[in-house]
Every structure is written in C-alpha cells, then in structure tokens.
Amino acid sequence: MKRRKWDAKTKAIIVLEGLKGKPVATICQVYQISQAQYYQWRDHFLTNAPKTFEGAQQTEREARLQRKNARLKHLVGELTLELKKSDAEGWP
C-alpha cells in the first residue's frame, strides 16, 4: 500500500472529530488510518495546543514595543533638532 502524506490542517480536522466525541474507530475507518496513528496525532495536537494562544500575546507585546520604539524615536528626533538649533545659534 502506498504511504500517504497528511497535511497539518487535515490532521487537525481528524483529531478534532475525535475530541468532539466521534468514535475513534469510525474516524480511522473513514480516513483509513490506524488507531495508533490517530492517537499519535492527538497527543501531538494536545501537546502543542498552548502555543496557539502565545501568538496573540506576542502580537500585543510587539505592538507595545513598537509604540514605545516610535515614542523614543520621536524624542531622539526632538533632541537632535534642539542640538542643531543651539549649534546654529552659536551656543557653546
């Protein structure tokens, strides 16, 4: 039998069917996979589930850092202009 390659999205759909309560034996028959394969995918899915929510936190953190970076750049720009202005006016 030719070995099939499953993409991540399809694996997730299969695992979610089982987590929603559909009998694993039925799922395995429909998709022609072994129960051992299903349980490997399920364990991998559940192990990596928390990473799904880290993305939102990282995005918020990045947005906060970008705002802070923009504010600091603005301050540096103002100070640079003040220094150039004082140099032009002949301040020591």
The domain locations on the chain are: 8-86
pLDDT (tens digit, 0 to 9) for every residue of the chain, 92 residues total?
A: 467 899 999 999 999 999 999 999 999 999 999 999 999 999 999 999 888 877 777 778 888 999 999 999 999 999 999 998 888 877 65
Phi, then psi, of 76 in degrees rounded to 5: -60, -40
pLDDT at 2: 66
**Residue that is written with structure tokens 């004082």 in the block:** 86
53-to-26, 38, 58, 59, 72 alpha-carbon distances in Å: 30, 24, 9, 10, 29
